[in-house]
Structure 1
Amino acid sequence: MGIDLNFTKGQGTGNDFVLFADPDGELTLTPAQIRAVCDRKFGVGGDGIIRAVRSANLPDGAAALAEDDAAEWFMDYWNADGTPSEMCGNGIRVYARFLIDHGLVDLADGDTLAVGTRGGVRDVQRNLTGFQVDLGRWRLDGGEPLVRARNLPVARPGLGINVGNPHVVVALADEDELDTADLGYIPQLEPEPAGGVNVEFVVPHDPLVVDGVGRIRMRVHERGSGETLSCGTGAAAAALATRHWAGAGAPNQWRVEVPGGTLGVRMFPAEDGEHVGLSGPAELVFDGVLGLG
């Protein structure tokens, strides 16, 4: 028996998502249904699906409530290929916009919205560009694998960084290399990480720092989605990697240009270590109903 999916299409710097409300956790889509919805020719089209569900109403939400009992809502995020993901930096901002615009939460200026994710609870606030999210404590993780990408002549060393989900960041020589790389193909890593990884390719601006703000340009191949116009956690990882390579004196504020726009990244101290924050726009584009078999 088919179902009608009442959905909203949203995007943050071109990273686009299909969102739907299921507060009681009654509508779990299959991987095949997720792939069908995200298909850009036969479905709605999107880099992933986000289900708005109360943390108390799904198993993954128990850990979120144990971490912070204010995390009433859980961002149940699935990649376009039907696989689950720990976190999505652009997606969580769009998710906050969805919850507010659909009357599921109130978020006044200065208030904080705690959102459960598979990567842990994340705090979201409004700001002038849209929303900012504390991605939590980051860590160097995944070593320095060699990365090969189509149209890049030689393998490049990457830097593994975890910001709630895994990334490998690769520095390229210039803008031409960044533009030439064909990220429609999955980059090959040696050694290959278990479970896959998001791969960011980065070029610094010249000069790197202007008025105390670092500036880089980035493209990304997201596991489970392919090349996307933006990746929020990837932008944070790219800024962290560039600061790491730049060494002492590198700034803690960054502007990251992605094909879909510009994101802000900020590193700041917290009780459990250094955190990284992400800011940028979040827009809801249209609502619709899609019949699913």
Structure 2
Amino acid sequence: MEGLGNDFIVFEGSVEVHAELVRKLCDRHFGIGADGVLRVGQEGDFIRMDYWNADGGMAEMCGNGLRCVALYAYDNALVENKSFVVKTAVGDRRVEIGDLISVELGPVTMGEPRDWNGMTFHAVSVGNPHLVTLGKDPRKIDVASIGKALELATPGGTNVGFGSVVGSGINLRVWERGVGETLACGSGMVAAAALAHRLQLTGPAMAIKVPGGHAIVEIEDTTTWLTGPARLVFRGELP
């Protein structure tokens, strides 16, 4: 499945997932190829989501993955209603199925900024850690070298977002912890939007353009919402 080009291998049920398996499956040359692995399960009346990055590390949240989980659960009759709750590592998150899929990413918290290579990065948590800079055109930034350096320099690793405010929206590229640069990062889009709104650079609702397309982020008083597409690419079986 994919959301804005951020692609995932999805398992259902109690399939045992471990780091070595994730690394093998996500390898784009010797495996299936993906940015990460999602496991979808049921806990009573709720859906459960677990997520692993391509390097095998378990992650707290994945916004694009949450949209894929929502679509998978509805299309495979794990739920009947188009609005339901998904349990994640960082708490319960509401989702709504329509022509696009809206998912709740929860509250955002801000930490202290830090300077790196002449840019100011703000620490932003969307349940998972981000460093976000807003200003320079991300097309002119060496995302790979700076993103990797900041990921390695941060205890536990971090996602790194490079954005510029254009009109009432944001152009964004994201280096994802344990993956590298991806075509889209859902939590990264929310982190950048929340920072731009906090700095009074945008209103509470905005379009975020990433290499894989665009999504809408809405900042509310106590939570945030991400709206965008999700799609089943193919089904298969492991030998």
Q: TM-score range by the shorter chain?
A: over 0.9
Provide the residue aligned with 1:6 in structure 2. none
The 5 Å alignment of 1:31-42 reads 31-42=19-30
| Residue 204 of structure 1, aligned match among 159, 162, 165 | 165
- The answer to which of 178-187 and 156-165 deviates more is 178-187
Cα deviation digits, residues 235-285 of structure 1 (max 9, x gap):
0111111122236xx41111000000001000123xxxx211110001011
Query: Does structure 1 residue 124 correspond to structure 2 residue 95?
Result: yes
- The AA in structure 1 aligned to 2:110 is L
CA RMSD of aligned residues (A): 1.8
- Find the aligned partners of 2:141 and 2:215 in 1 and give their Cα distance: 22
The 5 Å alignment of 1:150-229 reads 154-174=117-137, 178-185=138-145, 186-189=147-150, 192-205=153-166, 208=167, 214-229=168-183
- The AA in structure 2 aligned to 1:120 is G
Work out which structure has the larger RCO, using CA pairs closer than 8 Å and 6 or more positions apart in sequence.
1
Cα deviation digits, residues 99-123 of structure 1 (max 9, x gap):
1122222223xxx211111111110
- 8 Å CA contact 1:73, 1:115 repeated in 2: yes
Provide the residue aligned with 1:13 in structure 2. 4
Q: Radius of gyration: which is bigger?
A: 1
3-state DSSP of counterpart to 1:203:
strand
- The AA in structure 2 aligned to 1:75 is M
- Find the aligned partners of 2:213 and 2:152 in 1 and give their Cα distance: 32
Percent identity of equivalent pairs: 37
The 5 Å alignment of 1:1-293 reads 10-22=1-13, 25=14, 27-55=15-43, 70=45, 72-108=46-82, 112-128=83-99, 130-141=100-111, 143-147=112-116, 154-174=117-137, 178-185=138-145, 186-189=147-150, 192-205=153-166, 208=167, 214-246=168-200, 250-269=202-221, 274-291=222-239
- The AA in structure 1 aligned to 2:184 is S
- 8 Å CA contact 1:159, 1:170 repeated in 2: yes
- Find the aligned partners of 1:173 and 1:194 in 2 and give their Cα distance: 26
- The AA in structure 1 aligned to 2:9 is V
Q: Aligned-pair distance for 1:190?
A: 9.9
Q: Aligned-pair distance for 1:50?
A: 0.4
- Find the aligned partners of 2:42 and 2:157 in 1 and give their Cα distance: 28
Q: Aligned-pair distance for 1:230?
A: 0.1
- Find the aligned partners of 2:16 and 2:24 in 1 and give their Cα distance: 14
- 8 Å CA contact 2:151, 2:158 repeated in 1: no
Stretches of structure 2 lacking an aligned partner (at least 5 in a row):
none
Stretches of structure 1 lacking an aligned partner (at least 5 in a row):
1-9, 57-69, 148-153, 209-213
- Find the aligned partners of 2:118 and 2:65 in 1 and give their Cα distance: 31
- 8 Å CA contact 2:6, 2:183 repeated in 1: yes
- Find the aligned partners of 1:231 and 1:21 in 2 and give their Cα distance: 23
Number of aligned residue pairs: 238
Cα deviation digits, residues 166-223 of structure 1 (max 9, x gap):
111112323xxx2233333443339943211111000111xx2xxxxx2110000000
